[in-house]
Amino acid sequence: MKTTIRRPRLILPGMPARLHDASGGTPIEQAFEMVKQNADRYRQGTVFDYPTTTHNAHLIRARLMQGRVVTLLARWIQTGDAAYRRAVLAHVRQMDRWTHWSWILWRAGNRNRDGIFDLSYGENSTTLAFAWDALQPTLSVAERTMFLNLVRRWSWAAFAARQKAGTNWWFGKRDCNWNTVCAGGLGMLALAMMGDAPEAPGILRQVEKSFRPYMQHLNELDGGWPEGIGYWGYGMRYAFLYLLSWEQTMGREHPLMRLPGVRKTLDFPLDFSPDGVPCSFGDVNRYGVNPFHYALAERFGRGDVVRRLDALYAGGHPSTRQKQESWPNAVELLAFHPRRIRGRTPVQRNVVRRYRTLDWYWMADRWPDPNLYVSIRGGTTEVPHGHLDLTSFHCVAGGEALVTSPHVEYLDTTFSPRRWEIFEMTPGANNVVMINGVGIVRPSTVQSRALKVKGCPAVRLEATAAMGGMRDGRAARFYGRFMMLLGADALLVLDHFELMHFGRMEVRFHTPGAVTVRGAGVRIKGKRRQASLVFDATVPGVVRTGIAPTTSPGPDYQMVRWGTRDLHQGVTFASLLVPGTGRARVEVKADGRRIRVMAVAGNRQYRMVFTDRLIPA
């Protein structure tokens, strides 16, 4: 049976013309074919496998369900075949049959539907919103009753009960993805059901109240995000699906979309994933292209962003591959890709950028498509999903990460009082310094600024207080780090220590590549790229390597340690990373209160002088 589909209110089902359009190149064609194939599989039944033993298994189930329902809706819109419509309703009924929506309640043995409103409730609410929005004109009285009862039993009852009890801790939280995932799902459900459910306007007012601090904080951070690029993709997906849906429903601009930081946030995940390589900080340093990014780029007229996302698809980058535990990316790509691209992407040279308040930096010899790139962690330890990684960095050469930090697996310890015992959370797992075997403490903050030295981008960090205390008081009179990009030739890292008492100092680097020690340095060989990492110091030093003791089995990370041979009160370390196979040498000398550095990278030689506070002289 063919059904005429009205134009829905929400942003995703509200773009039927694009769902019919398979033009726009290979990724669009592949997405169109994927929707067809997946929809035919999904309509065979409503029960599916998901990893039941993993962290937040019910949330993964919710995402898989959203992928199934939205894909079936898209195929119904494309074909008008009632079999897909029936399959959508069957999946909705299956959601009502689940004994638990929340993994947290399931683990606690709590069968109360209104016992929590967590991420699974937010994502399931979004799924129901899309289904109601697309199906509403065709629903029978019985189907409408089933749908409304389900929403009232689960989504709205849980939100109301937890608001009354004051346990929706995420409500109005300015720096946590839970806010927009939970409130965004509620908001889309309220938008879809306005006129059909008298509760909707009141819920919408609560959603707006919760969203405001989150989006204002985004503005304060110049579009950056303290949870990193992985959680940027999660929280912003639901934030902007809601805000774009609000604009489509109301027919006007949402006031929060006028904030300058909202426009700027389009750049954040791209700034910290050069060529799709994740270079962010915190629990989820992973990057996946999110199709809602296209919708934002079109909304703000950012053709350059569209081109950069397209380049990742064209190159077959892993960040474009849909994982099983994912959302309906193929449908969203069809709906959100603008097809026509306008504007160009100007190339910049020797770039250094700071996200203010967040105090994260990145530098590149050219942008976009850098030959050599580094991201640097300033700011504070006191951010959601943060690690003890202040002053750490990632370095990418020729599209491959040669210096980076091990990934984190979510276990029962990750969000427990024992979080800070996990290796990946500690300074020792990051590309930082250690004094007497320990690194920065929490809570702490570093002071930092960006500058140019002889035209080269650089960042200076001062982290004396962040090094904490030792037996007889503070660890250091001074500790600072200076990082400088010598064009595409090399990355120079200087670390200067002045301790209160004699101690052992070292700097650590981690790499997924193979490492070979060569004198006072190592050779790093990645899958496609290689580099020399050479060292010098103002006192005798020693190089040691080994496999990082990561928590989870998987690809090994090599740990490279450059440290003092004996105990000293002061030292300056110089570390020089030179991509390729050219010459690499670095020398550092103390000259009174001056530090003199000479670096050789390939056929070029650089000489620099600094004060004993790592200020260029």
Q: What is the pLDDT of residues 444-459, one digit of tens each?
A: 999 999 999 999 999 9
The tokens for 82 are 């009632």
**Reported CATH class of domain 348-611:** mainly beta
Structure confidence by residue, pLDDT tens digits, 507-527: 999 999 999 999 999 999 999
The tokens for 532 are 């020399």
Q: In the chain, pLDDT over 90 holds for what percent of residues?
A: 92
Q: Is the pLDDT of residue 552 over 50?
A: yes
Residue 276: name the closest of 292, 294, 288 by CA: 288
Neighbouring residues of 253: CB distance < 8 A, sequence distance ≥ 6: 247
Please give the Cα distance from 62 to 327 (Å, whole number).
9
Contact present, 225 and 237 (Cβ < 8 Å): no
Q: Within a 10 A sphere around the Cβ of 43, how many other Cβ atoms?
A: 22
Torsion of CA 414, 416, 420, 421, to 10 degrees: -80
Give start-end residues of each CATH 1.50.10.100 domain in the chain.
16-336
Neighbouring residues of 543: CB distance < 8 A, sequence distance ≥ 6: 517, 520, 521, 522, 535, 560, 561, 562
Q: What pLDDT was estimated at residue 287?
A: 87
Q: Is the pLDDT of residue 422 over 80?
A: yes
Structure confidence by residue, pLDDT tens digits, 59-118: 999 999 999 999 999 999 999 999 999 999 999 999 999 999 999 999 999 999 999 999
Residue 270: name the closest of 262, 261, 282, 279 by CA: 279
At residue 434, what are phi and psi to the nearest 5 degrees? -130, 140
Q: What pLDDT was estimated at residue 114?
A: 97
Structure confidence by residue, pLDDT tens digits, 309-362: 999 988 777 767 755 458 999 999 999 999 887 777 889 999 999 999 999 999
Q: Is the pLDDT of residue 56 over 90?
A: yes
Give start-end residues of each CATH 2.70.98.70 domain in the chain.
348-611
Structure confidence by residue, pLDDT tens digits, 466-478: 999 999 999 999 9
Q: What pLDDT was estimated at residue 529?
A: 97
Please give the Cα distance from 403 to 376 (Å, whole number).
12
Task: Specify the pairing of strand 568-579 against strand 530-537.
Answer: antiparallel
Contact present, 283 and 243 (Cβ < 8 Å): no
Buried b (16+ CB within 10 A) or exposed e, 155-189: bbebbbbbeeeeebebbebebbbbbbbbbbbbbbb
Residue 59: name the closest of 322, 327, 245, 286 by CA: 327
The tokens for 488 are 């595409």
Per-chain mean pLDDT for the chain: 95
In the chain, the N- to C-terminal Cα span, in Å, equals 78
Structure confidence by residue, pLDDT tens digits, 187-222: 999 999 999 999 999 999 999 999 999 999 999 999
Phi-psi region of 28 (alpha: psi -120 to 50; beta: other; left: phi over 0): alpha
Describe the chain by its helix, strand, coil percentages, rounded to 5: 35, 25, 35
Q: Is the pLDDT of residue 386 over 60?
A: yes
Q: Which residue type does 89 have? A: L
Burial grade of 441 (CB within 10 A; 0-12, 13-18, 19 or more): middle
Architecture of domain 16-336: Alpha/alpha barrel (1.50)
Paired with 492 in beta bridges are 484, 576
Contact present, 43 and 339 (Cβ < 8 Å): no
Inter-CA distances, 119 with 61, 184, 556, 563, Å: 12, 10, 32, 45
The label of the residue with tokens 């509760």 reads 199
Please give the Cα distance from 446 to 426 (Å, whole number).
17
Q: What pLDDT was estimated at residue 13?
A: 73
Residue 136: name the closest of 194, 83, 95 by CA: 194
Q: What pLDDT was estimated at residue 36?
A: 96
Q: What is the mean pLDDT of residues 403-411?
A: 96
Residue 15: name the closest of 417, 318, 294 by CA: 294
Q: Is the pLDDT of residue 39 over 90?
A: yes
The tokens for 489 are 């030739």
| The 400-403 sheet, strands edge to edge | 348-355, 360-367, 372-377, 393-397, 400-403
Q: Which residue type does 138 have? A: T
Q: Is the pLDDT of residue 1 over 50?
A: no
Residue 606: name the closest of 481, 480, 456, 459 by CA: 456
The tokens for 312 are 């990742």
Q: Is the pLDDT of residue 48 over 70?
A: yes
Please give the Cα distance from 480 to 378 (Å, whole number).
12
